[in-house]
Amino acid sequence: MAATVTVGASPEELAEVAAMVKAAADRLEAVGASGSAPPVARYGADPRNSEGDSPLAHWMPFDVIVGRCNPVAPPVTVAFEGERAIGHVVFTAPYEGAPGCVHGAVIAGTFDIMLTAANVLADAAGPTTELTIRYLRPTLVGVPSRFESWVTAADGRRTSSRGLLIQEGQVTVEAEGVFAPLSRARIDALHRRGSSDLSDDPGRSAEPQGSADPDVVHAPIEP
Averaged pLDDT for residues 148-175: 97
Local confidence band at 157 (pLDDT 50, 70, 90 cut-offs): very high
H or E element that contains 200: helix 184-200
Band the pLDDT of 10: cuts 50, 70, 90. confident
Q: Is the peptide bond before 55 cis (omega within 30 degrees of 0)?
A: no
Percent of the chain with pLDDT over 90: 49
Pairing relationship of beta strands 170-179 and 77-81 according to DSSP bridges: unpaired
Q: Kindly report the CA angle at 161 between 220 and 208, in degrees rounded to 5? A: 25
The conformation of residue 140, written as its DSSP 8-state character, comes to B
139, 96 contact by CB (below 8 A) = no
pLDDT of residue 117: 94
Domains of the chain listed by start with CATH number = 47-179 (3.10.129.10)
Least confident of 56-65, 103-112, 129-138: 56-65
pTM of the model: 0.74
Which of 141 and 1 is assigned the larger pLDDT?
141
Answer whether 64's CB lies under 8 Å from 70's CB.
yes
pLDDT in tens, 183-216: 767 766 766 665 555 444 444 433 333 333 333 3
The span from the CA of 122 to the CA of 194, in Å, is: 23
User: Is residue 172 pLDDT above 80, yes or no?
Assistant: yes
pLDDT of 15:
84
